[in-house]
Each structure stands twice: as structure tokens, then as C-alpha cells.
Structure 1
Amino acid sequence: MSILLLSVSHHTAPMSTVSALSLTADETMKLCHGIAATDHVDEVAVLSTCNRTEVYARVDRFHAGLDEVTAALAAAGGGDLGSLQQHCAVYFDEGAVAHAFAVAAGLDSMVVGESQILGQFRTALAIGQQAGTVGTSLNALFQQGIRVGKRVQTETEIGAAGRSLVTSAYEVVTETGGGLEGRRVLVIGAGSMASLAARTAAAHGARVVAVNRTHERARHLTASIEGATAVPWSHRRAALAEADVVVACTGAKGLVLDAADLAGTPVTHVVDLALPRDVDPAVDSMLQLITLETLAARADHEDPAGVGAARQLVATEVADFLASRRAAQVAPTVVALRSMASDVVGAELQRLDGRLPELGEAERAEIARTVRRVVDKLLHHPTVRVQEFAADQQVDYAAALRDLFALDPQSVAAVMSAPGSPGRSAEDPQ
């Protein structure tokens, strides 16, 4: 298994580039299909959030696979290939595993330790499975990543803090305009981010109103939030006229708020958590506009409690996963060795039949069982030990086993190239 990971995020690119690559679920599935149809990729999953788009691919050639993935992602974003190459990070195999687990744990997020990424990680896996582009390799990677993310959220201080882009944005509002208690918060949108914004505001004592183009979705969002109300999209201007704080996160492709919408309203803070933007940047000249760029700059100066313990947990999980994978990668050699031994036993028993045709069926069967027991006992220790030693990255014990027993390279290759085999690997990226 060789995993190639191409990442464009707030760490590597301006938010305008990240925004251009933000994909809907349908666009994500289309990209999965497109990449899986290329020559050097046989598994693919795409993670797309408000601050990152990442392609996870199983490849049989590093450079060729990277070219195919980069070209497909650039086309999906409608951008220039050269520009994308300047604003992405590339991880391969063990580095890809480490990065994937850090992402699932929220350690690579704009707000370190935020928990929403875990749900987005699950969604990426689900879309890949629905598209039919996730096989055994990526499924194992994502399932283990989800497990790691859960452990960080439940076992570390950083996970218990309940951090998110929403809480970070409200912290800015509180620092510059006082707390949310008793204030009127208008949430525009009805997705997961809008739901989190509404619930968090209500938990801080705010009076919440939700508005969405589909009124039923806004009503559903507020149904379980005490005191919250939903208004139709046609009444949004009236809602703005009564709001103190506005949170926009619709996922629309165009702006939903501009300076004219806010002129003459009591609104003091507008939080734009959408990608692409929901709010015209010109609004910033009228009142405080808090955007993803605002939160990214703020995050650069944060060092949340518990991050060290979380990183150590992730590092341990990465080491365990890689050790298990290396142990699995010797399986083709072990299978080939046992297959060779079985062929040798079969040939010798056939020769015995020719030399001693007078042997009865009972004697012949007993001899066959005895020979197979002897071979099994001779092979048991080396095959068990080679799997135990596989975690050692300094010595290729599987190669040593192949040399010692003069295994046919083609027989090993046949096992390694079987669909889903953990032994498949790509060319050296160097």
C-alpha cells in the first residue's frame, strides 16, 4: 500500500485559493470518480472543509500519481495547475498516515483541537465509499483516523475544551463587544455550522433567530433550541433590523449580505464562516467583520492546553498503525513461502508413488501427513518471527526470507498485486 496525500489548506495557501477548491458533496464524488479513472490511482477519497481540501489516493507510482491527482484537483477548482503546485503540501505513505491522523484529531485545524473535523473526516470516507473509490487501504486509514480523533476528543484536555471556529469567533465578539448574554444573534444558514452557531449562542444566553432560503430547514434547526425562532427568507431584512450579531454560513456560491443590507441596523458584529464568502468585504468598513482569515491569524498566536498530550497520543497511534501495516506487508512473502513448500511436498509425494507403487492408501496418507507436519513445524518459527520483526524499519526481513528460501519473485509479485493486498507498494518517491 502506498498512500499519496495532496493537501491545500490555510497552512499552505491564501483563503482565496482554499475557497476556489471548496467542493460540494456532488463535486467531491465527481472528483473521486475522475481521479480513480486515471492510470496510476486505484483508490481515492477527498476531504473538503471550510479551511482545507485534501485528496487521499492509493497509487502505484509516486510521480505519475501525483501528476494525475494535481491535474484533477486543479481542474475541479477551475484554477491554474502551476498555482496549485505552489500552494499545496504533499505527503507520501508514512507521512500521509501521520498527517491524516493529525487532521482527524483536529491538530491541523485552523482552531487546534476543534471537533467538527472528525465528522467531516467521516463524511469524506462515506462519499468515497458511495462513489466506490475507497478500497481496503483507504478504508483502513480512515477508520483508524476516526478512532484516533475520537480518542483525542475523549481522552485529552484539548478535546474536552469543545473548541471550534464558532467558539473562536464568539470569543472575538466577546472581547470587542461584550458577552452574548441577552444579545440578539441572527444565524443565516441551516447546515452543521449554522446549527453549531445557533446552539452555542443560545448556550451563552443569546436570543437566537435563524433564517434560511428553505424555511423548513431553519425551523428544523431551531426546533430543539429553547427560545430560538425561525423566520422566512423574505423576512431577513426585518430580522437584520433587530439583530446585534449576525453569523453567516450558508454554503452559497454568491454573497448573501452586503453593506446596503446592514446600513441602519443595530448590528455591531458580523461573523462570516462561509467558504466561499457570504458577506461582502466592504462591510468591514461599517462594523466588525470576523472572517476565516481573522480566525486564522488569531490561531497563529494560540497554544491551547492539552495539545502536547494530544500530539503524543497521535504519534503513538501512527507508530502502531505503521507497525501493523509493515507486519501485514510480509504476508505475501509468507504466503509465497508456504505455497512453495506445498508444491515441494506435493512433488515429493508424487515421486514416492512412482517409486513405491505397492504402498497402500493408509500408508500413503500417513506418510503425507507426516511430511506436511514436518514442513509446517520447520516453517512455523521463521514465518512467525518475520512478522514480529517486520516492525523494524532498518532491516527488510521479508527480503531476507525470500533470499534464504530462493522464492520465485513472480510468485511473490502475484500475491502482492492481488486486489486489496497490503503488500502493494509504489515506486520510491525519491
Structure 2
Amino acid sequence: MTGLGITGPAAVLLVGLSFRSAPVPVLEKASAAAADLAALEHDILDGDCVTEAIVLSTCNRMEFYVAATAFHPALDHVVETVASHAGIPSAELEPYLYVRYADKAAEHMLTVASGLDSMVVGEQQIIGQLRSAYQTAHDNGTVGTTLHDLTQRALRTGKRVHTETEVDVAGSSMVSFALGHALAELGAEDMSGRRALVIGAGAMASLASTWLGRAGVDHVTVANRTLSRAENLADHARQAGVSADAVSLTGLSGVLADVDLVVSATGAVGTVLSGEDIAAAQAEHNHRMVLVDLSMPRDIDDTVTTAGDQVRLLNIEELTTLAGDGTRDEDAARRVVAEELGEYLDQLRVQAVVPTVKALRQRASDVIDDELGQLIRRTPGMSDQERAEVVRTVRRVVDKILHTPTVQVKKLSSEGGSVNYAEALAVLFNLPAGSSAAVSRSVELGDAGLARLGSMLSGEAS
């Protein structure tokens, strides 16, 4: 097998940090606004051993998936790029990172897509977020065959998990989980007789608006930097039978004193609500107010809690604690993940054999051409028709001889195991160097290969 530092066929490398491995301030620094993703992905691609890149950015995780032709150089490059983007030294970031390679990287993406690594176990929103991450990378031109195949398999796995199991029966998203706790903080079973403010107009804000409507909210105000987008979301709410209006972010001060619940989910850099904003609202109308911050970086400054004991803030840090370790029907979901992962790895093993099979057939073709050339020189009296028949016969014989070993090497490789049949075939027939791809990169790597970043591995997400 090839060594860790030697380039070869691309394998998937994951470098990530999430609510499981890093505190919120570190996550905030590493997070990327949608407008910055293209530049970040291209910066990640600007490494000799990185050929593809996808960045999965959510409110509680940042994961960087790359196709790497060599482990160590690619890992160094990704970590340095992420640290540079975050504005902190690599040495300070590394303890919060987790690393996966080859089989383990694939397993992690499938697990994430299934909602099994989410703050709310089984939540479905992550599927849309992964699909969006893939589309962004595709539009940026940073996705090739390796990450395309893995992402499509992960999306398929997530869909199967939510269709075939009940892992998400208690809540479909982070939004429903957070707003369910917000209701408890209000001491209410629903939103009847209450008013809400939704800040943002993206997917999470839309989910929040829908949830509030189903909870019987009296009125929803949608606020956004671009007023037209806020008006669009408010119009959708009205079409669903919910009383709603829209304001720009500059109009927040005129709304806060009248709302019981604030949900903020924007892509803003910097806070949207300050302690002074909430203090002014409470001075005008002292009442129970729950603020839910679903953004990363945070939209709502922690100082809002100093506005009085009537104000309660639920942000990602708080929600992480509340989420705990959900275990709803996880076994069935993990069986689906294992099945899909097995099929994906079988597919990779078969693909890894293809270069060897092609090299073997090319070697046979070269031998045939050489021998036929000698035959023609030795038999000048042979007619063109006779030569053509000899050529067909020789090629049929060789094809029949090669048929069984090529079929068998694909079959045996798809079954896995410790034997690298493609490599064995290459050695037996003395095929050109590089024609045999390493079938299982994770076996090559092993724990020893990752020990170089022991501090990072000690902070792995489960």
C-alpha cells in the first residue's frame, strides 16, 4: 500500500467542528456567511493535494469536506485555511477540530445527513442544509465526482432514515425544538393570545413563521434588512391564515415592546438586538419576553438578560444543554446508515479496481499486437482475410482467458476484506506503477496516522 504522504487517487478528508467539540465563541469565529462560502471553498482548493471542496455551514457546525490525494499535506492546508478565515492561530483551533478520512469521513456525512449527529436527534433540516451546501459548491465549481457521489449517497441515506424510521417523531427541526422550549419559558401550551417577532427571511425564519402559525399565534411581525423579503414571508403567513406584517431592521424598536416571543435567524455578521434595545422595550412595557437566537454568529447580544428578570434568552449554547442526548429510534436509523455506507464502500472498491483491469487489458492488447506483428513478418504469403481471421481468433482467446479474473477481482473487491485484490493483480502481471488504487484508505491511515493531531482527535464529535 502507498504511504500516507504519497499522492494517489483522491479520498475524502473531513475537518470539522461542531457544538459537540467546540464552544460557541469558537464556532462563531469559524462560521462563514453565505456570501463568503465561494471564496472560502476556492481558498481550500488552493492546495496541491486538494481537488474538491464542500463547506457545510449550519447554526451549530462547520464541516469542510475535501477530496485529497495525500492525507498530511491536505490536512495541514485545510486547517491553516480555516484558521486563517477564523482569524485565530492554527494551534488554538486544533483542539476543537475533529478529523475523519476515507471510510470514516463517508460514514460521518451519512450520519449527519440522517440527523443522528444533530443537537436534536433526527431533525430533518440538516438534509436541506447539506443539499444547499452541495449546490453552492457545485455552482462554485469546487465539486467533482468524489464529493458528488458521497453527497448524493448521504442525501439518499437521510431521506431513507426519515421515511423508514421514526427517529424524528418528536420534532422535525432545530426550530421546533427551540420554539417548544420557548413556549415552556412563556408558561403556555400554545401561542394563542400572543404576538411574535421573526427576524430574518431565510429558511429557518420561514420554518419559525410556519411553526408559530400552527401554534395559534395572534400576530407575527417579520423583520429583515431587505424589506421586500420580509414582506414576502409575511405575505406567505397571511395566505396561511396568520395575521402578519413586515418591517425593516431599522423598525425593530417600534415592535419589541408589544411582542412576547422573538425568533432571530439571520446571516448577519454582528448582533441584531442589543441589551439596550431590550431594556428600552421593557421600560415601555414590562412583560415576559423570550428571545430565541438560532444564528451563528449570534444575532442577540448576551447583555439582553440584564434588561430584567422578565427576559429569557435561548441561544445555541443554551439549546445545546437542553437538547441532551436524544435516542429516539436511533438503532433503526443507524442500521439504514450502515446499509447505505456498505453499498457506497462496495461501489468505491469496484471503482478502485477499474484502473487495474484497464491496465491488464492494455497489457494483453500490447502483447497481442506484438505477437501478431511478428506473425505477419514471418508469413508474407498469408492473405488479408486469413490474417484478419487469426487476429479475431487470438483476441477471442485472450478475452476469454481474461474474463474470469476480471469478473472475480471486481466481485472479491466489492466484498471487502483485508486483501487488496487489485494490487495483487497488478503485482502478478507486473502492471505499471499507479494502476492499482488503494481500496481502503482508512485502513492505510489507521490510528497512528491521526496521532499527529492527537489534540484534535481528543475533541472528535461522536
The normalised TM-score by structure 2 is 0.87
**Residue matched to 1:172:** 181
Aligned partner (choices 356, 380, 384) of residue 379 of structure 2: 356
1:344 CA displacement: 0.8
Q: Is the contact between residue 158 and residue 310 of structure 1 (CA under 8 Å) also seen in structure 2?
A: yes
Distance 1:301 1:368 in 2: 68
Distance 1:48 1:242 in 2: 33
Aligned partner (choices 3, 18, 35) of residue 9 of structure 1: 18
**After alignment, is 224-233 or 134-143 more displaced?**
224-233
**Residue matched to 1:273:** 294
Aligned partner (choices 232, 238, 249) of residue 220 of structure 1: 232
Q: What SS class does the counterpart of residue 53 from structure 1 fall into?
A: strand
Q: Percent identity?
A: 40
Aligned residues: 421
**Residue matched to 1:283:** 304
1:162 CA displacement: 4.4
Aligned partner (choices 365, 368, 377) of residue 400 of structure 2: 377
1:407 CA displacement: 2.0
Q: Cα–Cα, structure 1 residues 407 and 250, in superposed 2: closer, same or farther, change >3 Å?
A: closer
Report 1 or 2 for greater relative contact order, CA contacts < 8 Å, sequence distance ≥ 6.
2
Q: Is the contact between residue 12 and residue 105 of structure 2 (CA under 8 Å) also seen in structure 1?
A: yes
**Residue matched to 1:403:** 427
Q: Is the contact between residue 45 and residue 134 of structure 1 (CA under 8 Å) also seen in structure 2?
A: yes
Q: What SS class does the counterpart of residue 224 from structure 1 fall into?
A: helix
Corresponding letter in the other structure for 2:208: A
**Residue matched to 2:245:** 230
The normalised TM-score by structure 1 is 0.93
Q: Is the contact between residue 45 and residue 55 of structure 1 (CA under 8 Å) also seen in structure 2?
A: yes
Q: What SS class does the counterpart of residue 31 from structure 1 fall into?
A: helix
Residues 66-105 of structure 1 mapped to structure 2, 5 A cutoff? 66-105=75-114
Distance 2:422 2:377 in 1: 36
* Structure 1 unpaired stretches of 5+: 417-421
Q: Is the contact between residue 33 and residue 269 of structure 2 (CA under 8 Å) also seen in structure 1?
A: no
1:124 CA displacement: 1.5
**Residue matched to 1:419:** none
Distance 1:360 1:247 in 2: 87
Q: What SS class does the counterpart of residue 373 from structure 2 fall into?
A: helix
* Structure 2 unpaired stretches of 5+: 1-9, 450-462
Matched, 1:191 2:206: no
After superposition, give the CA deviation of every residue in 1:196-254 in whole Å (9 maximum; x if it has no partner).
11111111111322122222111111222222312322432232122111111222212
**After alignment, is 279-288 or 7-16 more displaced?**
279-288
Distance 2:104 2:379 in 1: 59
Distance 1:220 1:158 in 2: 33
Q: What SS class does the counterpart of residue 158 from structure 1 fall into?
A: coil
Q: Is the contact between residue 270 and residue 289 of structure 1 (CA under 8 Å) also seen in structure 2?
A: yes
Q: Is the contact between residue 219 and residue 229 of structure 1 (CA under 8 Å) also seen in structure 2?
A: no
Distance 1:299 1:29 in 2: 32
Q: Is the contact between residue 121 and residue 325 of structure 2 (CA under 8 Å) also seen in structure 1?
A: no
CA RMSD in angstroms comes to: 1.9
Corresponding letter in the other structure for 2:76: D
